Structure 1
Amino acid sequence: MKDARAIELETLDSGYRFEYSATASLESEPDKYKRADRPASSFTDGLDSDGRRHVGVGDNVIKKSQTVSGPVALVSTIEQVMEFLTDGIPPGTIAVIDDSGGTLTAPIIEGFAGVICLGGTVRSHLGILAREYDVPTLMNCKINDLKNGDMVELEVTAAPPAADAYETGDTGHARIWLIENEG
């Protein structure tokens, strides 16, 4: 225990400060919801034949027989979770969260039609919860701008990544589409 404390003190003395992902939120880190690490130009320009625009990619946790679609809810605060607990989650809601730990959304995860998580891997705590509650989930997502209420479709029919995918970089095969024309 003394060794761990000494390492922590040495680290803090160097000027480093620990950052906890659970304290990150839409208000404190809005850029997480518009990821610049995968340029928009890598997604399909224009609408496809089904009236959808390719706006993101991720790693599918559970392979399903059909895609899932619904309105986006950006979930990043305890107050939002409390509202969902009190008022219920609107049917078909697709949560967009930045924390792969699942702690924030664990009490309400089974109420979502799907989840887009901006971090983590399919083996993260959220991935485990998604499998346990059978909630279609994409992890490690790169997305263009998404706003509350946007209609999206998740390609949860894609195969989950192979065991060595994170070491080889062979990730991001499940697509996310913005549905611009429902007709």
Structure 2
Amino acid sequence: MNSRTGFNIAIGGITTAFVVLSLYGGTLVMNNKLFFMTAATYISVIPYLTGGIKQGIIVYLSSFILSFILIPNKFYAAGYVFLGIYPLIKLVCERFGTLNEFIYKYIWFNLTLTILYLLFKNAIYLNQSILNSKAIIIIIISMQVFFLIYDYLFTKVIIFLEDKIIRKII
């Protein structure tokens, strides 16, 4: 085993641990569950940046499996299945140019929201009067704005990691 392989294994293990700890933190705190899920996805981009797509997928799968084993709230852990893959989606979509990048990312995001809703609609209490009113439009628009902010901040996190941390350790 060369030093690069050892480095990638160490980064993968540390990243997996931080992702699972972040997700676990989301189950302990009543508010800010979305913050912890977001932090987990931001952390999970590190192996993609240091070791490439294969390394990122390995860390994603290990984080997913460990979160299902260790995290008591399986619904919350299931959210990571969809959001944890976003670093890969983002890196692939950004190869297609700015306009196509946003189109592909928004297709992925809305498809993910639809799948999550269909999977968990019976497990999550939703007031039916909200779903039959104009409020659903506000919810959908709010989610789109959230995703725009999330993706923008994700780009800033990647730039920070590449400029300030990864260049210094590689």
Same fold (TM over 0.5): no
Identify, as 1 or 2, the structure richer in strand.
1
The TM-score with structure 2 as length reference comes to: 0.27
Could you say which structure has the greater relative contact order, defined with CA pairs below 8 angstroms and 6 or more residues apart? 1
Identify, as 1 or 2, the structure richer in helix.
2
